[in-house]
Amino acid sequence: MRLRFHLCALPLLLVFTAQATAFAQAPRLQSKKLPVATPAISYREQVEPYLKAICSSCHSTDKHNGEFVMDTPAQLFKGGATSHARIIVPGHSSQSLLISYLKGSKQPQMPIGGTPATATQIAQIAAWIDQGAKIDVVRPVFPYVPAVKSKVPAVKNIRWARNPIDNFILSKLETKGLQPAPEAGKVTLMRRVFADLVGEPPTPEEAAAFVKDTSADAYEKLIDRLLADPRYGERWARHWLDLVRYADTHGFENDGARPRAWRYRDYVIRAFNADKPYDRFIKEQIAGDELYPTDADAIVATGYARLSPWDELSTDHPQRWQDYLNDVTDTTGSVMLGLTVGCAKCHSHKYDRVTIKDYYSLQSFFISTRLEESRLPGTDPYAAKTEPWHNQITRLSADLKAIREKYRSAAEEERRKSLRPGEMLRIDDGDMDRAIDRATDARLPGAEQDHRRKDEIQGDIRSIEDKLRPLEPVAEVVKEGGKSAPPAHILLRGNLATPGEEVRPSFIESLCASKDQVEAMVVPPPGDRSTGRRTALANWIANPANPMTARVMVNRLWQHHFGAGIVGTPSDFGRNGDHATHPELLDWLAVKFTEDGWSLKKMHRLMLTSAAYRQSTQVTPLSAKQDPQNHLLSHMNRIRLEGEALRDSILATSGRLNPEMFGPGVYPKVSDEVLSTGSTHKWGNSAEDQGMRRTIYVFQRRSLVLPIVEAFDAADMNNTCPRRAATTIAPQALALFNGDFSRTESKYIAARVLKDAGADVEKQIIRAYELTLIRKPNSSQLALAKAFLQKQSQLHAADGNGVRAVVSIRPAVSEAQTAALAELCHVLINTNEFVYLD
Amino acid sequence: MGQNSNKQFPALPHMRNAASRREFLERAGVGFGSLALQFMLAQEAEADAVRSGTKNLNPLAPKPPMFATKAKSVIFLFMYGGPSQVDTFDPKPELTKYDGKTLKTALANVGEVKTFGGGNNAPLMRSPFKFQKYGKSGIEVSELFPNLATCVDDMCFLRSVYGDSNNHAPALFEMNTGSILQGYPSVGSWITYGLGTVNQDLPAYVVMTDHRGGPIGGAPNWSSGFMPATYQGTVFRPEGTPILDLSPGKTVTAEEQRTSLDLLNKLNQEHALSHPGDTNLEARIAAYELAYRMQAHAPEVVDIKGETEETRGLYGLDNERTEKFGRKCLLARRLVERGVRFVQVYSGGGHGDDTWDAHGNIVGNHGKHAGDTDKPIAGLLKDLKRRGLLENTLVVWGGEFGRMPITQGGAGRDHNPGVQTVWMAGGGVKGGTVIGSSDEVGYKAGEDPYHLRDLHATILHAMGLNHERLTYLYNGRFQRLTGTAGTVIKNAFS
């Protein structure tokens, strides 16, 4: 794309520039004799972006040096304290001070402290002035206009295309003279879709069965099977949690736990597994309490607006509340609308069509939000688990009461001493506890024992309550308190201390088809508990008429399947984001998505069954040269497993993965050296099998990320993360090659190998390859591995660092041989073949 | 030129929509060719490099500064808990005069006094420590720092630094990242992003926490926020194997490890051959070798056998009290000597009086922490200087906030973001200078107030980075360490 720009656009630019320079030198002449063919220069497209880039740091509402502001054309034409209207004299660039300042013929030359504008750039601005300095109307273009179902393009190679996606991909490839890559091998493809849909590798047996299945729809059946697999929800919920910066703690000083946050995580997993329509998914998260008040899932979903960091110890509550509102507004804009609305917090967006008024109007939908805990309607799925604990508490409370009752008379006696005339004698547990204390101090018979027993019972009750709390049918939600909302104001420069104009709930104007759609129709739902504002917002976002919603979501799916989005910056469809590589395809998909009832699973299926997705990762020299970044998808992108998928895959390979779903976060073992990096790292102790659950169930502490996940570019839990980085750094090698996790699991992989293959070394090697890389070794790999095992066995025998086999097999395998085999498995899970997906 | 026939995406008459942010910048910046643009583009280039494999893949490869400068490394000595300015480097005779009086008596327009822990009307408390003039510059230092005081002619004191939060976590975040909110890249991350590092065998950005625990907030204090994790700080332990997972553990010998690594390399190389042109695969092979080298080099840094008795003594390693912090200061020197870009050392860990958070007793608390660190820090400055490293190393000393001139509970002081003293030394900084002042009693910044963002702009400036041009695109904005503010304290430099 870029390459093409340089190759093709540059000559054009030069031609054009030459003309423009001529204009600049003879402005008077050409203002009359403007050649008909002379291209009109667009202020919006060619002048404004440049001026904003170099001038707005000093000449904007934020910082108006020389009383000159140029945020709007009107301000620009008004000029500053010295230039006034002479700043731009339409039709006469030579008289326009803007040009003089840029040239330096008037001092100080602008931009002060920056690199002077080149002749080319000045010429362009001069030409615009000479053409009359017209302000062109901003024409709505992508992405501000709703998607229409583009015509599926015709292609030459009709045999290749399996569904319309392929026509869009292939037609562009054909224009460039590129060929799609051949289809990937069956096992390669299988590993790819497994990682993509369930985040784990297939078992060797699944792979063998798939290879054997020669039916025409074997691949489609596989896709359907995996889309129905509950691990699909676990895999894809993670992508959503990245976006909404999910965590189980508040962050800041105490980084205190949010014991009920996991209910939102589980809700997302269930929503993906149930193929909840995406519009409904959004509505539930923004306004589930108003729209579906009897649906427990919809109530939990409103936890979406509870996920931002929260400073529990803040002493400045109005600011904290404003930070919260900003965060929920920014996140909603980025995640659901693909627009960086946060930029308009202090000033109207410098690049995109979002004004400061849009921003605070959008924020006003959340202004009457209250953060609450809510008892969930319906039956409690954890009741069976918590009932024994409740019973235990009942029993313990009865015991406690019995102890206290023994001291009732003593407590009454004490209380009488301070009784005022006419006052009723009334004692509480505290009075009785104090009576126990006094009796203990006085060493009365049995008192010390009662005291001790009372403390024990109270301790037991507390620890049961701690276990119980996260499982109570209560969720962290948002609600409102009534049908009226406090007034909302624009905050000048984003500052709470300088409120500006009052705003009403209204939508981002540039995303509305007409002006009369901007103002929100807000209707309080029955019961007068709520303003209905969030319902209005939810209905606007989750709507096929909204130009962003469907496009943004299908692009996210595309990104995860293909390694890069059609728009490469999936939360920024604006001007600073990447341009769409296949805009017509994106629109076709967006319309298809809404036509199919916003079904994610149908969209996955469509993408995954395309020929484009089934391509191998093979690059031809021609495509490497013409399209080095593979924007055109002449082959599949190789994708590295994220930290979570890597950890889950290793656990699946060692056979130790605990498939249990849902519930409060678990704590895999973390070394003391990691725990000591903060002042208050509260890391729980989970049973070993609980620590072996999928990474999505690991407690998400904002100040402490599981090291193996962190090393492989974990999502930051404080910011929305639309796309994981995929850096390659030495600490990753340290984590995976030296870290305790992979070393331990390698021993368990070795145990599986021994169990399956017995004592025969060659069989062991084959099995080790099958379990880790889902294939057999070739002959040279087999030979390498044999030599390796022999050497490692000798070394381990010599130093006595063996590994006791976890399984007993006959004939027995020595500890040194087992250790050597574990080393081999460890090498295999460290290979690029394991970590990257072809 | 990618002309687009679809009516939905009309090609503009002369210049079509930019295909990417990069292209937009290039186009907007025809003739703009400035460093700002270069830095905006560098980020894109990096992503391009990773995708297309046409450029240097290593995001930590050394990059030239934006302008010539002396400082090559930073050592940031973080006094966690918040040291009291009026008891350390900011003498206040007026405070002595008004001892026991209210703030309102001493300061006319004091406004509403806000403490963290209450007691807003508590009386002023004079410093229990004596101040004395030192060096040619005659700068006054309290008796808490008898050793450091002998270095004043190399130090530049900023007595008017202020921040925005009187609460530890947000204040720590602000000192470290410029934002009181969690999730922004730290100063060290920005510098590493801007300059890379010259020694690829060691982490570019190293953090040494206190032996009593980490600071409040933990890892977010050295996080790279929205930037790639490459730029985050690496926690470095002062003994043994300093980096997490640096050693494969006791059950694996060096030969066994090398044997495994050799097999891994062979398999990866064979795999790379069958996947030509993917530099990610090659980069990952290189990363294993790099890790292997790091495994050898990092323990060498913490192995101080080669240091002379005299040098150890200089840092106070011969004294139980100063040994812990002294060792970290010595390691800081060894790290910058080996090209590490940014080293942060914490004094104070965990909570309460294990940190500089002297709520209850300023004499006991500050006496302890100053006593633990005075000699080591002085030793660091002297050792850097005699080795010729001081001019290439910017040393910064400060905490998350200062403390109140009024007392808390009669002997302690509460948090005070209104003013603190931060000092700098080396890296082109003008020694023997005092810049800015607090008000008469040290309650708020007085003359020439400098916000923490100004301090950050100044640190970047010392490193040859313009804080307005060091940007990273995230969420549609060219983010900066200094947000939309920040002024370089130019008179801090000679």
Per-residue pLDDT tens over the stretch B68-92: 999 999 999 999 999 999 999 999 9
User: Quick check: B491 contacting A, CB < 8 Å?
Assistant: no
Nearest CA in chain A to B352: A679
* Per-residue pLDDT at A59 exceeds 90: no
Q: A707 and B288 in contact by Cβ < 8 A?
A: no
* Per-residue pLDDT at A25 exceeds 50: no
Q: Could you give phi then psi for residue A212, rounded to 5 degrees?
A: -70, -30
Q: What is the pLDDT of residues A246-258, one digit of tens each?
A: 999 998 888 889 9
Interface list for A 515-554 with B (CB within 8 A): none
* pLDDT for residue B419: 97
User: Quick check: B321 contacting A, CB < 8 Å?
Assistant: no
Q: What is the pLDDT of residues A437-470, one digit of tens each?
A: 999 999 999 999 999 999 999 999 999 998 899 9
Of B33, B235, B256, the CB nearest to A115: B33
10 Å Cβ neighbour count for B64?
9
Under the banding of pLDDT at 50, 70 and 90, the label for residue A287 is very high
User: Quick check: B209 contacting A, CB < 8 Å?
Assistant: yes
Q: What is the pLDDT of residues B436-463, one digit of tens each?
A: 999 999 999 999 999 999 999 999 999 9
* Per-residue pLDDT at A583 exceeds 60: yes
Across the range A605-611, mean pLDDT stands at 98
Of A2, A4, A252, the CB nearest to B182: A252
Under the banding of pLDDT at 50, 70 and 90, the label for residue A807 is low
- The CA distance from A503 to the nearest CA of chain B, in Å, is 24
User: Residue B384: which residues within 8 A CB-CB, separation 6 or more?
Assistant: B333, B336, B390, B393, B395, B426
Under the banding of pLDDT at 50, 70 and 90, the label for residue A803 is confident
* Per-residue pLDDT at A57 exceeds 80: no
- What letter does residue B213 receive in the DSSP assignment? B
- The residue with tokens 């005070």 is B416
Quote the distance between the C-alpha of residue A233 and its chain's center. 15
10 Å Cβ neighbour count for A398?
10
Under the banding of pLDDT at 50, 70 and 90, the label for residue A630 is very high
* Per-residue pLDDT at A73 exceeds 90: no
- Chain B residues whose CB is inside 8 A of the A8 CB are 1-2
Of A148, A349, A575, the CB nearest to B24: A575
Q: Where along chain B do its domains lie?
A: 73-240+303-492
Crossing angle of helices A10-25 and A119-130, rounded to 10° = 60
Predicted ipTM beyond 0.90? no
* Per-residue pLDDT at B432 exceeds 90: yes
Q: Which of these, A626, A637, A767, lies nearest to A184 by C-alpha position?
A: A637
Q: B181 and A309 in contact by Cβ < 8 A?
A: yes
Tell me the average pLDDT of chain B: 86
Of A150, A334, A831, the CB nearest to B267: A831
Nearest CA in chain B to A573: B476
Under the banding of pLDDT at 50, 70 and 90, the label for residue B392 is very high
> How many separate helices (H) and strands (E) can be counted in chain A?
36, 6
* Per-residue pLDDT at A628 exceeds 70: yes
User: Quick check: A570 contacting B, CB < 8 Å?
Assistant: no
* Per-residue pLDDT at B493 exceeds 90: yes
* pLDDT for residue B297: 86
- The CA distance from B273 to the nearest CA of chain A, in Å, is 12
Q: A676 and B285 in contact by Cβ < 8 A?
A: no
| Amino acid (one-letter) located at A256 | G
Across the range A355-368, mean pLDDT stands at 95
Across the range A393-408, mean pLDDT stands at 95
> Is domain B73-240+303-492 given the CATH code 4.10.780 in the classification?
no
Q: B263 and A50 in contact by Cβ < 8 A?
A: no
* Per-residue pLDDT at A5 exceeds 50: no
* pLDDT for residue A809: 67
Q: What is the pLDDT of residues A141-186, one digit of tens each?
A: 778 888 889 899 999 999 999 999 999 999 999 999 999 999 999 9
- The CA distance from A255 to the nearest CA of chain B, in Å, is 7
| Both structure tokens of B471 | 């940007």
Interface list for A 44-63 with B (CB within 8 A): 45-46, 49-50, 52-54, 57, 62
Interface list for A 577-606 with B (CB within 8 A): 577-579, 583-584, 587
- The CA distance from B251 to the nearest CA of chain A, in Å, is 6
Nearest CA in chain B to A737: B248
Q: B476 and A314 in contact by Cβ < 8 A?
A: no
Across the range A642-648, mean pLDDT stands at 97
Which of A679, A773, A821, A834 best tests the B interface by mutation, with the highest count of B CBs <10 A? Answer: A679
Tell me the percentage of chain A whose pLDDT exceeds 90.
64
Of B182, B284, B477, the CB nearest to A309: B182
Across the range A330-359, mean pLDDT stands at 88
B459-483 residues labelled b (16+ CB within 10 A) or e (exposed): bbbbbbbbbbbbbbbbbbbbbbbbe
Pairing of strands A639-640, A836-837: antiparallel
- The residue with tokens 């891994």 is B264
| Both structure tokens of B282 | 């090659």
User: Quick check: B82 contacting A, CB < 8 Å?
Assistant: no
- The CA distance from B47 to the nearest CA of chain A, in Å, is 9
Under the banding of pLDDT at 50, 70 and 90, the label for residue A808 is low
User: Quick check: A568 contacting B, CB < 8 Å?
Assistant: yes
Of B1, B10, B280, the CB nearest to A141: B10
CA atoms within 13 A on the CB side of A483: 7
- The CA distance from A728 to the nearest CA of chain B, in Å, is 6
* pLDDT for residue A54: 77
Q: B248 and A702 in contact by Cβ < 8 A?
A: no
Q: Could you give phi then psi for residue A4, rounded to 5 degrees?
A: -65, -35
- The CA distance from A771 to the nearest CA of chain B, in Å, is 16
10 Å Cβ neighbour count for B106?
21
* pLDDT for residue A811: 67
Q: B167 and A733 in contact by Cβ < 8 A?
A: no
User: Quick check: B12 contacting A, CB < 8 Å?
Assistant: yes
Tell me the average pLDDT of chain A: 89
Interface list for B 178-197 with A (CB within 8 A): 181-183
- Chain A residues whose CB is inside 8 A of the B48 CB are 629
- The CA distance from A238 to the nearest CA of chain B, in Å, is 18
Of B209, B272, B473, the CB nearest to A677: B209
Convert B459-479 into a string of H (helix), E (strand) and C (coil): HHHHCCCCCCCCCEEECCEEE
Across the range A39-66, mean pLDDT stands at 77
User: Quick check: B239 contacting A, CB < 8 Å?
Assistant: no
User: Residue A127: which residues within 8 A CB-CB, separation 6 or more?
Assistant: A19, A20, A23, A24, A41, A93
Q: Which of these, A786, A821, A787, lies nearest to A802 by C-alpha position?
A: A821
- The CA distance from A795 to the nearest CA of chain B, in Å, is 7
Across the range B158-162, mean pLDDT stands at 98
User: Quick check: A729 contacting B, CB < 8 Å?
Assistant: yes
Which of A252, A641, A830 best tests the B interface by mutation, with the highest count of B CBs <10 A? Answer: A252
Of B5 and A275, which is predicted with more confidence? A275
3-state secondary structure of A27: helix
**What does the alpha-carbon distance between residue A639 and residue A383 come to, in Å, rounded to a whole number?**
42
* pLDDT for residue A539: 97
User: Quick check: B225 contacting A, CB < 8 Å?
Assistant: yes
* pLDDT for residue A717: 87
- The residue with tokens 């408390």 is B125
- The CA distance from A715 to the nearest CA of chain B, in Å, is 9
Under the banding of pLDDT at 50, 70 and 90, the label for residue A38 is low
CA atoms within 13 A on the CB side of B230: 24
* pLDDT for residue A118: 83
| Both structure tokens of A754 | 């021994």
* pLDDT for residue A143: 82
Q: CB–CB of A326/A363 below 8 Å?
A: yes
* Per-residue pLDDT at A536 exceeds 70: yes
* Per-residue pLDDT at B40 exceeds 50: no
Q: What are the DSSP calls for A458-497, one per residue?
A: HHHHHHHHHHHGGGSSEEEEEE-SSS----EEEEGGG-TT
* Per-residue pLDDT at A810 exceeds 90: no
Which of B4, B263, B401 best tests the A interface by mutation, with the highest count of A CBs <10 A? Answer: B263
Under the banding of pLDDT at 50, 70 and 90, the label for residue B250 is confident
Under the banding of pLDDT at 50, 70 and 90, the label for residue B16 is very low
* pLDDT for residue A403: 94
User: Quick check: A832 contacting B, CB < 8 Å?
Assistant: yes
Interface list for B 89-148 with A (CB within 8 A): 114, 116
* Per-residue pLDDT at B128 exceeds 90: yes
Roughly how many angstroms between the first and final C-alpha of chain B, as a whole number? 51
User: Quick check: A794 contacting B, CB < 8 Å?
Assistant: no
Under the banding of pLDDT at 50, 70 and 90, the label for residue A71 is confident
- The CA distance from B387 to the nearest CA of chain A, in Å, is 31
* Per-residue pLDDT at A107 exceeds 70: yes
User: Quick check: B483 contacting A, CB < 8 Å?
Assistant: no
User: Quick check: B49 contacting A, CB < 8 Å?
Assistant: no
* pLDDT for residue A672: 83
Across the range A546-569, mean pLDDT stands at 96
Q: B248 and A255 in contact by Cβ < 8 A?
A: no
**C-alpha Rg value of chain B to the nearest Å:** 25
* pLDDT for residue A234: 98
- The CA distance from A148 to the nearest CA of chain B, in Å, is 9
* Per-residue pLDDT at B47 exceeds 50: no
